[in-house]
Chain A
Amino acid sequence: MIEEAVFTPQLAASPIAGILWLVPALPIVASGVIALLKQPRRKAAASFSIGSLACSLVLALVAFAHVLAGWMHGQAVRETVNFTWLHAGGTNVDLGWVLDPLSAVMLVMVSFVGLLIFIYSIGYMEHDENFTRFFCFLSLFAGAMLGVVISNSLLLLFMCWELVGLTSYLLIGFWYQKPSASAAAKKAFLTTRVGDIFFLLGMVWLFSQTGTLLFYNGGAGSMEPGALAGLLAAPAGLGLTAAGAIGLLIFAGAAGKSGQLPLHVWLPDAMEGPTPVSALIHAATMVAAGVYLIARVYPLMQAGALTGGTTVALTVVTWVGAATALFAALIAVAQNDIKRILAYSTVSQLGYMMAGLGMGGVAVGMFHLITHAFFKALLFMGAGSVIHGCHEEQDVRRMGGLKGDMPLTFVPYAVGMLALSGFPLLFSGFWSKDGILEAAQHWDLGHGPFYMLVCGALLTAFYMTRQMSYVFFGNWRGQGHAHESPKVMTMPLAILAFFAIALGALGTPAWPWFRAFLDDRAAEFSFEGFHEPGLLALMATSSLVVFLGLGLGWWVYGNKSPQAEEPDALESAVPPVWAVLHNKFYVDELYGVTVIAFYSGWARVADWLDRWVWGGAVTLVAVLFRGGAHLSRLCDVYWVNGGFDKGCEELANGGGLLARVQSGRVQSYLRLLALAVVVLAAILIWSSRG
């Protein structure tokens, strides 16, 4: 490796860094505008969405050019713009964004791949009546994802992270009329939430330890040496430092989002969403957010490592990544749904990225992330084109021989497949995967991950060959007639195919530009790079493994013409192995009888408590009060009202009696008067005598 002096940091914010917030803001605003549009305004929705993302892409390219210019002048560009979001007592919570090589590369990738997929969606979603809603969600997703990329604060990153999770949920469940789609959406949301809880814990812990969630803040950020020294000094139990424990918690969040073992279960089910969503969110960008997060907090993950050594957190990242890579590749071998094969392949490749981060550093993992984003988006969009051409058929056993019917899809798909398999020298996947294998070979803590990753590479080549033979070779086994997709869908494929090849040039050992760019070193072109000990042997080995995989795949599946209902070649050879792999190692079933059974048990207890204990208490109170009210009513009716009514009645009767005395006959009055006088006289006489 070429040794270079590390660049001097340059911190002052330039104009482009100042307006970097526009990059995520534009698609989010577009999404808001589209949300207000009526359903039939399809053209307006698509143009707003694509226009805003194109503007974001231009801004991202300007930002990238700015970073590149700084890098060429020997400056390590890391410009941050921070502001205080809220004061609470003596505590400030700061947010901000950062422009450095990592975010610049990621910005360009996300907005570029996103733009191509947006354009592709016009063709793919053409007949969907919820076209406008689709573009609304897609724009929101793009904005949130770009927000994740530029965040300079773990909190801002977390907010955008959750927003990305929300749009993922909305888009997986886009066809919510399908029960499987809405179930998959819920599964994705809940599974990633498990990781996010740990992420949140790690974030809170980090804040309580360092008092800031900013990554870089001129020496006061949490990823800078001052704060890291404090984190290393704080013990966290189990032989971990606070830095290690927080790193592990954040990795749990990343594992949820990036589909690492054991939280990978949601990603294959997420393929229920429309194919552009699978390509954009569940292959190229969102699932890579976890990898990006680890790259972003890499100083924390690495804190405390001795020279050339590793940390507990990075060791865990490595093992989880390597295990995921092998595990998912095994499952991918025995899937029949064209998108599920790719989904497990994505899980497996994410494992590679994590392992690359764990063993080789930021640049190794990120390079695979970038190349993978291009070729996996290509593969998914190719698969979408195939599905579109085969009248929404997704089962590879009902396809076949499409290379003649869909040549414009076949050629880019083949490029993507070879890139994913790591076909030597020509394709980007080879170089990025080789970087990871090389790092694994030199890892200090043993060769386990190296062998796992090599096996994974073999399986990758194998299952991709299987898929290719099923889909594009052999004879047509589906119904009706397959047709080529429209230009708006095949053009993005061609562009992506170009990058799936060309990007490899940025990361060859002869010119390790990508690595130098991310590590703030100068890159020089020389074939010296190949002379590193063991490198050529490694390249030969990995090429051999790839050829072996391709050959094996072709030998088992190539150019055969099975019937659609015929069992798979592997299935008839080794049925028990096929059953285990086809059923995804029974992980879903395991979760079903453990975690889900546990929670549904508790839910039943809670339901019982609700219904009988709390509900019973409430009912009791209600009954008591109703009884009291009844009593009070009786009182009113029979006592108060009765007494009053009786009094009134008596008064009326008395009045009637008296009224009879007033007969209107003058003479009877006079008679009474006379009688009264007589009585009076009698009394007077009587009393005068006594």
Chain B
Amino acid sequence: MTPLAGYLLVAALLFAIGLAGALTRRNAILVLIGIELMLNAANLNLIAFWRYGPHPEALTGMMFAIFSIAVAAAEAAVGLGLVISIHRHAQTADLDEMNRMKG
């Protein structure tokens, strides 16, 4: 097993855990954490493909990862803000209760 495959496996595991968390948790905060996990699995992939790819000297993978982390930070800020305002509004963070936006 090459080191890349090991990384990729870890990343896939991480993604699967994150996805499972996002899909199964009822608490909005935990869902957000699951999403963060999936994002970081993607970041891990980016770094791994860069480090073991044909051009490790170019900083492209690193740059992607840093951008992705920055975007994830912004997303987390917005997501948490939304969760807080929803909580203020509905006195709960349970996602199953937030079903009023339906057809």
Contacts and interface: CB of A to CB of B under 8 A. Distances in A.
Interface of A: 658-667, 670-671, 674
B98 A670 contact: no
A127 B35 CA distance: 116
A667 B102 contact: no
Given A665-B95, A665-B96, A667-B95, A658 B103 contact: yes
B22 to A, nearest CB: 6
B58 interface: no
Nearest to B34: A670
A681 to B, nearest CB: 12
B99 interface: yes
Contacts of B23: 667, 670-671, 674
B99 A667 contact: no
A664 B22 contact: no
Given A664-B101, A664-B102, A667-B22, 7 more contacts: A662-B102, A663-B99, A663-B102, A664-B98, A666-B31, A667-B96, A671-B23
Given A666-B95, A667-B31, A660 B22 contact: no
Contacts of A661: 103
A379 B41 CA distance: 140
A46 to B, nearest CB: 93
B103 A660 contact: yes
A245 to B, nearest CB: 101
B100 interface: yes
B19 interface: yes
Nearest to B96: A665
Contacts, number: 32
Contacts of A662: 102-103
Interface string B77-103: 000000000000000000110111111
6 contacts: A659-B102, A662-B102, A664-B102, A665-B102, A667-B22, A674-B23
Most central of B99, B101, B102, B103 by chain A CB within 10 Å: B103
Interface in B17-49: 19, 22-23, 31
A178 B19 CA distance: 111
Contacts of B31: 666-667
A662 to B, nearest CB: 4
A659 B95 contact: no
B39 to A, nearest CB: 14
Contacts of B96: 665, 667
The 3 closest A-B CB pairs, nearest first, are A659-B103, A664-B102, A664-B99
Contacts of A658: 103
Contacts of B101: 664
Most central of A660, A662, A665 by chain B CB within 10 Å: A665
A427 B103 CA distance: 119
A675 to B, nearest CB: 10
B19 A664 contact: no
B102 A666 contact: no
A674 B102 CA distance: 20
Contacts of B99: 663-665
A662 B102 CA distance: 5
Contacts of B22: 667, 670
A658 B103 CA distance: 8
A667 B98 CA distance: 10
A656 to B, nearest CB: 8
A656 B23 CA distance: 26
Contacts of B95: 665-667
A667 B96 CA distance: 8
A671 B23 CA distance: 7
Nearest to B99: A664
Contacts of B103: 658-662
A665 B31 CA distance: 13
A661 B101 CA distance: 12
A670 B20 CA distance: 11
A666 B98 contact: yes
A674 B96 CA distance: 18
Contacts of B19: 674
A658 to B, nearest CB: 7
A658 B19 CA distance: 26
B55 to A, nearest CB: 25
Interface string B54-70: 00000000000000000
Contacts of A663: 99, 102
A258 B29 CA distance: 123
Nearest to B103: A659
Nearest to A674: B19
